[in-house]
Amino acid sequence: MPSDPELETRGRLIRGLGALREMLPGSFVERKRACGRPNCHCSDGKSLHTQYVISLLVEGKPKTFNIPARLVEQVRQKVAMRHRFDAAAASICGINLRRFLKEKEQP
Ligand SMILES: [Zn+2]
């Protein structure tokens, strides 16, 4: 049983990562666009269509992927998982760095 509160925090963070296994990369972006059909309500340039995309770099190049309406909420949550994963990784690394620096100082 680790009595060190940092080790308990680290363990809790590690155990939480499994719940993020469905994470997706990139940013969740809402875009407004005109579809181009002359008789559509969007042709006034104001009541545009809402479109959701994942925006990310693929091999260094910016890409966007359309998200079908039925998957929007799911994808929004999966992209948010990536941010929680990154935050957890940063916390774990911070704990380990402090432990390394402490250990280094010991004779
Ligand atoms: Zn339209």
**Ligand 1 centroid – CA 36 distance (Å):** 6
- Which residues are near ligand 1, the ion (C-beta closer than 5 Å)? 35, 40, 42
pLDDT score recorded for residue 104: 94
* Structure tokens, 3: 């009595």
Task: Determine the length of the chain.
Answer: 107
pLDDT in tens, 32-79: 999 999 999 999 999 999 999 999 999 999 999 999 999 999 999 999
The yes-or-no verdict on residue 1 having pLDDT over 70 is no
Is residue 29 within 8 Å of residue 64, measured between CB atoms? Answer: yes
**Ligand 1 centroid – CA 38 distance (Å):** 8
pLDDT score recorded for residue 3: 77
Q: Can you say whether the dihedral through the CA atoms of 76, 81, 86, 90 is positive or negative? A: positive
